[in-house]
Amino acid sequence: MFRQLFRKHEFFIAIILIVISLTIGLINPRFFSLANVFSLLRRATIMGIFSMGVLIVLISGGIDVSFTGIAIFSMYTTVSILVARDFQGSIFLPFIISGLLGLILGLINGVIIGVFKLPTLIVTLGTLSLYRGAMLFFVGSNYYNQAELPVAIKEFARASVFTVETSSGKTGLHPTFFILAFLGFIVWYVLKYTMLGRSFYAMGGDRESAERAGFNILRTQLIIYGFAGLLSGIGGMIVGALFRQANPFSIVGTELDIIAAAVLGGASIAGGRGSVIGTLLGVVLITIAKNSLVLLGIPSEWQRVIVGFFILLGTAIPMVQSLVVQRRLAMQRDEIPVTS
């Protein structure tokens, strides 16, 4: 039982997370204050929602760097439409429009990648530039501040569950946390218990074999990239709501942090690996690395070094593990392993 646990990547990440949290907390007790925890959760929620899409894409053997472009396109376009129509309705409509726009853009990715069998990194680099450029040129590049946003979005920004009074004012858990919990559960269930989830892993493990085993690769890719797009659309709207502004120049540029979180959590573009729990742990770790190392007295300039180091570490651990296994197998078979 314990040995099995030890082999799990998630176990290592959890240990690292606990050690780091305890260290920061011991040096600076403010780390464990409710205000700080809620503010970390708020940031982690945004990354977490994007990371679910990134995770599925990574499991299927691809990499998607366009999701931030999809998020900003969907959010900004939705807000522009709603502001132009002087929208007064509930918060659901903005999320539906933004999600649908994200779905469409994600499906475009899926069609380009699936139909023409093109490398995912290069395609999504292209569509990232395409979507953001299209938004800035055709939709607009003006910034909507808090006063201009639809009422529903402003109210949603203030929503809170478990409100607590602290010395610095009221703080609480934002309901978007439950959106993440819900989405996380769905992704976990799909990955673990459905044939669709199997097809993601099968594709990432070995595309050729998956195809011969009867999985419809094109359909799977459309579902993967469509779903990632839908999540990006929803995530984009959450960013707009939580920061109470529609800034067309935001979000894009943070994609590496989120990919880093998923990789750190054990997802690999090379081997059909990755889990929801690991990814969420990775998200929390990156969030702490980006926001809380300052509490330890580490200068903010060093944060990027640490995040970069974390990515390499997260990528290296599973690679080294598989190399060790390969060597052991090769020794058993007493022949040279065919690598690379």
Partner 1 sequence: MSHIENTETHNQSLISRLQSFIKNGNGNIVRLLTAVIVIFTLLSMARPETFLTIRNMQSMAFQASEIGILTIAIMVTMLSGGIDLAIVSTASLSGIIAGMILTSMVPPESSAGTVALGLVLAILAALIIGVVCGAFSGYLVAVWEMPAILATLGTSLLYKGLGTAITGGVTVFGITESQFIGNGEVLGIPFPLILLLIVSIITGIILSRTRFGINLYMLGTNPTAARFSGIDNRRVLIYSYIISGVLSAIAGIIILGRTNAMNVDFGASYVLLAILIAVLGDVDPYGGSGNVIGVLLALVAMQFLSTGFNMLLYKSSGANFFKEFAWGALLIIVLIVNHFSDKRRTMRIS
Which of 269, 283, 285, 288 is in the footprint of partner 1 by CB under 8 A?
269
- Distance between CA 221 and CA 203 in Å, rounded? 9
Check binding of 299 to partner 1 (CB under 8 A): yes
Task: Say whether residue 222 binds partner 1 (CB under 8 A).
Answer: no
- Nearer to partner 1 among residue 4 and residue 340 (C-beta): 340
| Interface positions, 45-64, toward partner 1 (CB under 8 A) | 63
- Taking the C-alpha atoms of residue 290 and residue 40, their distance in angstroms, rounded to an integer, is 10
Instruction: Kindly tell me which residue out of 126, 172, 197, 205 binds partner 1, with binding defined by CB under 8 A.
Output: 126
CA distance 296 to 302: 12
**What is the rounded distance in angstroms from the CA atom of residue 289 to the CA atom of residue 286?**
5
Report if residue 118 touches partner 1, rule: CB under 8 A: yes
Closest CB to partner 1 among 185 and 309? Answer: 309
Of 13-21, 39-47, 131-139, 235-243, the window that binds partner 1 (rule: CB under 8 A) is: 131-139
Least Å distance, CB 24 to partner 1, is: 19
| CB 64 to partner 1: min, Å | 11
C-beta of 31: minimal distance to partner 1 in Å?
22
- In the numeric block, which tokens belong to residue 207? 């595309």
Cα separation values, 233 from 97, 317, 335, Å: 8, 32, 50
Contact between 205 and partner 1 per CB under 8 A:
no
The Cα 215–Cα 199 span in angstroms is 6
If binding is defined by CB under 8 A, does position 297 make contact with partner 1? no
Query: Is 123 an interacting residue with respect to partner 1 (CB under 8 A)?
Result: yes
Tell me if 122 contacts partner 1 by CB under 8 A: yes
DSSP 69-127: HHHHHHHHHHHHHHHHTT--S-THHHHHHHHHHHHHHHHHHHHHHHHHT--HHHHHHHH
Stretch that binds partner 1, among 164-172, 178-186, 208-216, 306-314 (CB under 8 A): 306-314
Q: Does 16 bind partner 1 (CB under 8 A)?
A: no
Give yes or no for residue 247 binding partner 1 (CB under 8 A): no
The answer to whether 303 contacts partner 1 (rule: CB under 8 A) is yes
Note whether 78 binds partner 1 by CB under 8 A.
no
Site membership for partner 1, residue 335 (CB under 8 A): no
Q: Is 80 exposed, middle or buried (0-12, 13-18, 19+ CB in 10 A)?
A: middle
For residue 173, the cross-strand partners are 161
Does the footprint of partner 1 cover residue 340 (CB under 8 A)? yes
Q: Rank residues 26 and 121 by Cβ distance to partner 1 and give the closer one.
A: 121
**C-alpha angle 72-77-81 in degrees, rounded to nearest 5:** 155
72: contact with partner 1 by CB under 8 A: no
Token pair for 297: 């007295």
Which residue in the set 116, 147, 195, 214 belongs to the binding site for partner 1 (CB under 8 A)? Answer: 116
Report d(CA 175, CA 21) in Å as an integer: 24
Q: Are 233 and 100 in contact (CB under 8 A)?
A: yes
Tokens, residue 140: 């607009």
Interface with partner 1 (CB under 8 A): 63, 112, 116-119, 121-123, 125-134, 136-138, 141, 253, 256, 259-260, 263, 268-270, 299, 301-309, 311-312, 315-316, 319-320, 323, 338-340
